[in-house]
Structure 1
Amino acid sequence: MRVGVVGCTGRMGRMLIAQIASTPDCSVGGGTARAGSDVIGRDVGLVAGLEPLGVPVSDDPVGLFAGADAVIDFTTPAATARHAALAAQAGTVHVVGTTGLGAAEQEAIVRAAHHAPIVQAPNMSLGVNLLTALVEQVARTLGPDFDIEILEMHHRRKVDAPSGTALGLGRAAAAGRGADLDAVAARARDGHTGARRQGDIGFAVLRGGDVVGDHLVTFAGEGERIELGHRASSRAIYAVGAVRAALWARTQPPGLYSMRDVLGL
């Protein structure tokens, strides 16, 4: 299976190239960088710190989607929306790990999924997706008597907050309660906020250092507290999950899928 990577020169992109190259039955089907980048034309393997792979870095996402069986995308919301349209045109598997998408960008992905298999997840790791399933189950079991708070921490360079993973955990908790996250999310608290509203799902955000990703979901009741968490020590776990998603999606019809589908959760 030929798997390409848009944004292959960034830290995540290089990990994805390395993971594809080391996965049986996979080959690197191409990689793109921004137009004008000084790596255009260089071997994608050398850019990723590997032996040469005989595949040059290009600035042509149209050609990448047309020539690959699947393309993995950890770029920006606007770029991902454009890439989804390319996936739809070519019928190419599109694996989306980009977070921070707005409503219009998400709608572009939904439309594209009518024509291509798209796997979208705010976090591609096995552990986080297991955590998400557990959070939904615990929220359903405990009900509204337990307050739900979600704390996340990432490195200082992360630009969106709360993280896509934290919001995904919030959606799972809300689904467990039969609620709409947008109606119950408390995403900021400052000053004299008054008592906590029952049923709210709170978010707290920390940024600093080189933290890959920490997430903690607390269910706080009267006299007891349940905490479910996940800590990532390497971004390689996201690359492993993304390649697994690409392999799984190759046999699927057009549609919008999640990592829970990929993992049978």
Structure 2
Amino acid sequence: MKIAVIGINGKMGKEIANILNEMNYDFFGITKQDNFEIYKKADILIEFTNREANIQHIKIVLNEPRKYIIGTTGFNEEDLEIIRKLSEKTAVFLSYNFSYGLNSILKFLPNLYKNLIDYDLAIYEIHHKFKKDKPSGTSKMILNKLKEVNKNLDLTIESFRLGGIFGEHVIIFANEGEVIEIKHKALNRKVFAIGVIKAIEFIKDKSVGLYTMEDLYS
């Protein structure tokens, strides 16, 4: 099994390469300077880049599919339709957050919200100043989980871009008598790279389909 890390010189690309190397995976990197067609040498592609580049790569891969792990954020509905088309030809693993802890929160969040449905609710997220998309993909995942309970939920996510913060997400439930605050803070990028390793092991035996962290931890 050979793996290609697209955008290997990026922050997450380097982190993923480090852990792949530590765990003795057979992999190579693809940079902007490379002919992207070398992706065909790989069995599994991993990409954490930007929306525009990632969609362009997916359109190319549609012609000669490879299994694809996608951690890029900022996709619109048209982009997601292209990803779904790829998943009809090969196995695709898509997540805006590969942290086990964050995804554990998402798993119990709908049941918690059912019990606190009458409480006031707020979500805010903080990331490093170089992150382009607002709100973050993770905060959209949180909101979508809450909408499983209340599909009419109308909530504005507050976003801040400060310094070098890896990622912080806070959900607040409050009434006049108490405040319940759920907070997840990534202390480094390795926590996401570990999730990518789990995704590799999950997807390697799949032939087609669109998978998420929810499938991994179900």
Classify the TM-score, shorter chain. Answer: over 0.9
Aligned to 1:153: 126
CA distance in 2, matches of 1:19, 1:89: 30
Aligned counterparts, 1:1-265, within 5 A: 1-24=1-24, 26-28=25-27, 30-35=28-33, 59-64=34-39, 66-143=40-117, 145-177=118-150, 179=151, 184=152, 199-264=153-218
Q: CA deviation at 1:211?
A: 0.5
**CA offset digits 1:44-85 (Å, max 9, x no partner):** xxxxxxxxxxxxxxx122221x11121111011122223223
Native 8 Å contact 1:5 1:17 kept in 2: yes
CA distance in 1, matches of 2:120, 2:95: 25
**CA offset digits 1:64-109 (Å, max 9, x no partner):** 1x11121111011122223223444334211110001122211110
Deviates more, 1:87-96 or 1:3-12: 87-96
Question: How many residue pairs were aligned?
Answer: 218
**CA offset digits 1:159-208 (Å, max 9, x no partner):** 1111111111111111133x1xxxx5xxxxxxxxxxxxxx4333111111
CA distance in 2, matches of 1:87, 1:138: 40
The answer for unaligned runs of 5 or more in structure 2 is none
Say if 1:212 and 1:18 are closer, same or farther in 2 by CA, change over 3 A: same
RMSD: 1.6
- With normalisation by structure 1, the TM-score equals 0.77
Amino acid at match of 1:221: N
Amino acid at match of 2:114: R
Amino acid at match of 1:60: N
Deviates more, 1:90-99 or 1:113-122: 90-99
The answer for unaligned runs of 5 or more in structure 1 is 36-58, 185-198
Deviates more, 1:225-234 or 1:83-92: 83-92
Question: Residue 201 of structure 1: SS of its match in structure 2?
Answer: coil
Native 8 Å contact 2:65 2:86 kept in 1: no
Amino acid at match of 1:210: G
Q: CA deviation at 1:222?
A: 4.0
CA distance in 1, matches of 2:106, 2:60: 30
Aligned to 1:43: none
Structure 1 stretches of 4+ with a deviation exceeding 3 A read 85-91
Q: CA deviation at 1:140?
A: 2.9
